[in-house]
A and B are shown apart, each in its own frame.
Chain A
Amino acid sequence: MATIQPLREETMIINMGPQHPSTHGVLRLVLELDGEYVVSCRPVLGYLHTGIEKNTEYRTWQQGVTFVTRADYLSPFFNELGYCLAVERLLGIEAPPRAQVIRVMTNELTRIASHLLWLATTGLELGAISIMLYAWREREVILRIFEMITGLRMNHAYIRVGGVVMDLPEGASEQVRDFLDVMPGRLHEYEELLTGNPIWRQRTEGVGHVPGDELVALGVTGPMLRAAGIDWDLRKQLPYCGYETYDFDVPLRTAGDCFARYEVRIEEIRQSLRIVEQCLDRLEPGPVMVEDPKLRWPAELSVGPDGIGNSERYVRHIMEESMEALINHFKIVTQGFQVPAGEVYQAVESPRGELGYYVVSNGGNRPYRMHIRGPSFVNLQATPRMVEGGLVADVVASVASIDPVMGDADR
Chain B
Amino acid sequence: MILGYERRQELWEWCREFIDREAIYRVDATHPMLPGKNPKGKYTFQFYLRRATFNPQFAHNVGLLFWDHFLEIYRNQTFQICTPEPSGPPIGAAIQAVANMLGIKVNVFSARREAKAYGLDNWFNGKVLPGVPVMMVEDIAASAPFMLRAAVRVQQKLKLPLHRNYFTLVNKVGPHFKKDNQHTENYLDGQLIALFTFNNFARDAEFFTLRYGHQQQWSGLIK
Q: Is B a genuine binding partner of A?
A: no
User: Which residues on B are within 8 Å of A, measured CB to CB?
Assistant: none
